[in-house]
Structure 1
Amino acid sequence: MSYITIGERIGYERGKQQQGKTLVLSLLQKWVRDYLPQDVRGRIQTLPLEQLGALGEALLDFTAIEDLLNWLEANQAA
């Protein structure tokens, strides 16, 4: 049985967080045809992993950039 250290656990969690950000930002970038405002990117970068997952699912229903902005407004961590 192998054990992981606290440092390894932190690294693993950070890696998952970064993968989530990269995936969601890539999908959004493609969805808006390569134009995603920098301030919106910054807001997405601050989302915790659970919200990134929720955003990833929600973006499938978005029809306009306003849908993304409304979602961020409603779900942004205070």
Structure 2
Amino acid sequence: MIKLVVATEDKAVQQAKNLISQVQQTDEANRSNLLELVETMLIYKFVNKSQQELEAMFGLTDWRQTKFYQEVKEETKQEIKEEIREETKLDTIPRLLKFGLSIEQIAEALELDVEQVRQTIEKQGEEGIGSN
């Protein structure tokens, strides 16, 4: 495994194939953990390759089962949820202004910084001017 880490990309391909072959011959109890370790190493070693390219190069098809993949997937979900939550808050600002709330009240209600609310109002005002 250490040879795989320090090898050039060209040599790493063959070393990874050999390592995967060795791992697949180990007992079932260790195989999945070792295979997951090798897959994670390949992800970091070949950062410029897509999942499909790595699958084709090494014959590995169960990336979605690795802990690494599951963690990245969960982090991505959380980031997307947070972005949507933030966008929803910012989209709500004009409506709250129409109801007569102050910038400070809006910031408090949406749990945003006052400056963030001001910038959003300014940005939306500029967009409104440009679209007329």
TM-score range, shorter chain: 0.3 to 0.5
The TM-score, its normalising length taken from structure 2, stands at 0.25
If you compute each CA radius of gyration, which structure gives the higher value, 1 or 2?
2
The structure whose residues are more often helix, as a share, is 2
Where relative contact order (Cα < 8 A, 6+ residues apart) is larger, the structure is 1
